[in-house]
Amino acid sequence: MTEAEDRKPRSDEARYDPEITSEFAIPQGIEVPEGGGEPETTSEFAVPEGLAVPQPPGAEPEGSAFTLPSTYSAQDAPPAFTPATGIPAVSLIKDAPWQDRMRTMLRMPVAERPALEPVQRAEEGGPAIPRVLDLTLRIGELLLAGGEGAEDVEAAMFAVCRSYGLDRCEPTVTFTLLSISHQPSLVEDPVTASRTVRRRGTDYTRLAAVFRLVDDLTDPEAHVSLEEAYRRLAEIRRNRHPYPGWALTLASGLLAGAASVLVGGDLIVFVAAALGAMLGDRLAWLCAGRGLPEFYQFTIAAMPPAAIGVAFALAHVDVAASAVVTGGLFALLPGRALVAGVQDGLTGFYITAAARLLEVMYFFVGIVIGVLLVLYFGVKVGGKLNPDAALNISERPLIQIAASMLLSLTFAVLLQQERSTVLAVTLNGGVAWSVYGAMHYAGGISPVASTAVAAGLVGLFGQLLSRYRFASALPYTTAAIGPLLPGSATYFGLLSMAQSEVDKGLVSLAKAASLAMAIAIGVNLGSEISRLFLRVGSAGKRRAAKRTRGF
């Protein structure tokens, strides 16, 4: 071997030495018996010898997944899932408003809902699911913030999703949270989106515009694209209120004056109640600009009318001082939130209903504190206020009907309604007071029953007008119930408590609560009756109207 080969590293084959054995080899000198004992390699799950495993009694042998179970009996078999006669198809009335059709869908079980109608706005590649859900939530946010009931908000959200071809959608509405879930198919994960409602405002003009947008989305002849829907929604958000601030303050004063006439006031009482309500409204606007919560805004707004009434009592002016305070309370009572809260409870949205009624209670407590503070100091300094004045309301039918119509008119302005709806709601308020006066003053029927019937007619007429125009029913009902609000019962209950007559005060406040519940239930019952038995308008008339408007 040369010197170069000696320096070359040796390969594995070159290094192999037969004398070297595996480290697992049995050393020499140790004998292993053959054939005895356990095999060298066994499973750890193997059953040791000598151990008998008992078999469970009645165990079925392994078989096919389609093998009938041993407990199955052909004689006692349940009926097939699909009967021989088939499952009756559910069809929706085509000429009914979209609110009724979507509400019918929401009240059905998921498995019984009819199939989706043909999509009218099919885009390339299908609809953009996240954008459709976002548009749906934004529309629902405007409706919920405007005071619409939870069921109507869900119906609108459901209508928007189905108009863009998204089936198997489930909207959920609570007082401050909106969410919607869409499942593309049975094997795909659902897509869920949510939105929080942080600010609320009263603008029924904006509410009516949102309803028109949803109505156009559900109309198969409108062909509103997703981009067009977003553009119109942005315009609705940017639109200014139809009435300026000074008009709202003037309307608040006229509302209080009209309410004071309803409970027996004269011209002096009308002017005093109007001045007190306008002063309270300006103070509330000042507090709102400083960021003070609404609870304190209601407390401060309730003080000026009560102070003017106490001032009349201290000056011994021969006027109905209690009517001044009562008129000021009418402009503050949260009738809109009360009706919406009771409606949510009656339709099964108990969480939202509880939140709305809690909001009403906080506002009412704020009004109570403001009025009680003024009445308490007025009584302490010698003010003579008579709680029994509620029994001496003079009956002036024509003047009271005119005052009720003025009250509904100014209430509609405060709610920022469209000018085209003001006349209808004014007439509706006059009819409501006429029915109440005929039943209570002329017929001697209890005020709670009279209020319930009058509120039921308000809900019925309001629902008919809304179905005729394919719009929301709130602009036609909320302002019309203004003359029925329990302002006088609330005031006299507070006055009795301020004069240490707690029992009489609690009775009067209970009467006010009963009247408020009668209003809310009556409005909801009238709306449900109109949906059950009446049908107004048709799809053909609606399409002709849309073409006339240029849509």
CA-CA distances (angstroms) from residue 422 to 28, 83, 414, 419, 480? Answer: 113, 54, 11, 5, 10
What is the sign, positive or negative, of the torsion defined by CA atoms of 415, 416, 421, 427?
positive
Alpha-carbon distance of 85 to 296, in angstroms, equals 65
CA-CA distances (angstroms) from residue 67 to 60, 62, 72, 137? Answer: 11, 10, 10, 49
| Residue 221 DSSP symbol | T
pLDDT at 359: 87
133, containing H or E segment: helix 129-145
Length of the chain: 551
Across 491-506, average pLDDT = 75
CA-CA distances (angstroms) from residue 294 to 90, 204, 285, 387? Answer: 47, 20, 10, 29
pLDDT at 541: 39
For residue 137, pLDDT over 90 is answered with: yes
Which of 7-11, 131-135, 320-324 has the highest mean predicted lDDT (pLDDT)? Answer: 131-135
Q: What is the pTM of this model?
A: 0.69
pLDDT at 122: 46
Taking Cα atoms as reference points, which of 481, 486, 479 lies closest to residue 523?
Answer: 481
What is the DSSP track for 460-483? HHHHHHHHHHTS-SHHHHTGGGGG
pLDDT at 471: 74
Alpha-carbon distance of 414 to 186, in angstroms, equals 49
| Residue 61 DSSP symbol | P
Burial (CB count within 10 angstroms: exposed 0-12, middle 13-18, buried 19+), residue 135? buried
CA angle 416, 421, 424 (to 5 degrees): 130
pLDDT tens sequence across 227-257: 888 999 988 888 777 888 888 889 999 998 8
For residue 511, pLDDT over 90 is answered with: no
Alpha-carbon distance of 207 to 200, in angstroms, equals 12
pLDDT tens sequence across 40-58: 555 666 666 766 656 555 5
pLDDT tens sequence across 327-343: 888 778 777 777 788 87
For residue 71, pLDDT over 70 is answered with: no
Give bridge partners of residue 193 from the DSSP assignment.
180
Q: Are 273 and 257 in contact (CB under 8 A)?
A: yes
For residue 290, pLDDT over 60 is answered with: yes
For residue 271, pLDDT over 50 is answered with: yes
Across 7-24, average pLDDT = 53
Across 94-115, average pLDDT = 58
For residue 396, pLDDT over 60 is answered with: yes
- CB-side exposure of 377: number of CA atoms within 13 Å? 11
Residue 138: pLDDT band with limits 50, 70, 90: very high
Q: At residue 455, what is the residue type? A: A
Alpha-carbon distance of 133 to 183, in angstroms, equals 12
pLDDT at 29: 65
pLDDT at 384: 64
Q: At residue 106, what is the residue type? A: L
pLDDT at 549: 37
Residue ranges in 384-501 assigned as alpha helix (H)? 397-414, 419-437, 447-469, 474-477, 487-498
For residue 324, pLDDT over 70 is answered with: yes
